[in-house]
């Protein structure tokens, strides 16, 4: 099958990528760009391990065809830390024990970031709902929920300081 070029911005960098049209955004990230932080757990949109932000919204990148990414902005787990400083959600996951094996963590972080952008102070139920598309088999979710609560508080405090 003829290949095509997809122009996409990934973690702030413009990329021009050659791909067969049947490949997915997940394939582009992992195979074309070697951004292997985004994981494949099922390939059918059921586990959420491949969650990335597409124009700011969380999507299962295994369900996004490569051509659909044309002209769009993608954020992956590799794009969360800025200037070698961890994002508060990353720090909270480490501090609160919100990860064990870590395979669901990149996708979980992206869902959490999307939630906190739209709802700075989510309830526990809202957190659980927001990550219900991300399966975790190690933690039983409890410490992930706590980590997102902590990140929410940290980010609000940071925002308050910044606004002063």
| Total residues binding other proteins (CB under 8 A) | 55
Q: Does 37 bind other proteins (CB under 8 A)?
A: yes
Among the listed residues 6, 17, 28, 41, the single contact to other proteins using CB under 8 A: 41
Q: How far is the CB of 97 from other proteins (least distance, A)?
A: 4
Task: State the Rg of the chain over Cα.
Answer: 16
In whole angstroms, what is the distance from residue 50 CA to residue 35 CA?
Answer: 11
Nearest to 58 by CA among 103, 6, 115, 124: 115
Beta strands in 43-146 (DSSP E): 51-54, 57-60, 73-75
Q: Which stretch binds other proteins (CB under 8 A): 53-61, 65-73, 114-122, 125-133?
A: 125-133
Q: Does 86 bind other proteins (CB under 8 A)?
A: yes
Q: Name the phi and psi angles at 155, rounded to 5.
A: -65, -35
Using DSSP's 3-state secondary structure scheme, residue 36 falls into coil
Q: How far is CA 23 from CA 36, 69, 70, 82, 106, in A?
A: 16, 11, 13, 29, 21
Q: How far is the CB of 117 from other proteins (least distance, A)?
A: 18
Among the listed residues 113, 134, 150, 152, the single contact to other proteins using CB under 8 A: 134
Question: Pattern of binders to other proteins over 89-118, x per CB under 8 A?
Answer: -x--xxxxx-xxxxxxxx--x---------
Residues at the site binding other proteins, with contacts judged by CB under 8 A = 20, 22, 34-44, 46-47, 49, 76-78, 80-81, 86, 90, 93-97, 99-106, 109, 127-129, 131-145
């Amino acid at each position: 099958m003829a290949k095509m070029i997809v122009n996409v911005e990934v973690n702030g960098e413009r990329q021009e990528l050659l791909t067969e049209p049947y490949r997915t955004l997940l394939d582009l990230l992992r195979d074309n760009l070697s951004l292997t932080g985004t994981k494949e757990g099922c390939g059918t949109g059921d586990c959420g391990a491949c969650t990335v932000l597409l124009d700011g919204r969380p999507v299962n990148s295994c369900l996004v065809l490569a051509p659909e990414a044309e002209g769009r902005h993608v954020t992956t787990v590799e794009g969360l830390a800025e200037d070698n400083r961890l994002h508060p959600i990353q720090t909270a996951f480490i501090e609160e024990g919100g990860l064990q094996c870590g395979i669901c963590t990149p996708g979980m972080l992206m869902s959490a970031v999307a939630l906190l952008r739209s709802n700075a102070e989510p309830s526990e139920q809202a957190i659980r709902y927001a990550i219900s598309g991300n399966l975790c088999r190690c933690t039983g979710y409890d410490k992930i929920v706590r980590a997102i609560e902590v990140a929410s508080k940290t980010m609000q405090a940071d925002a308050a300081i910044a606004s002063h």
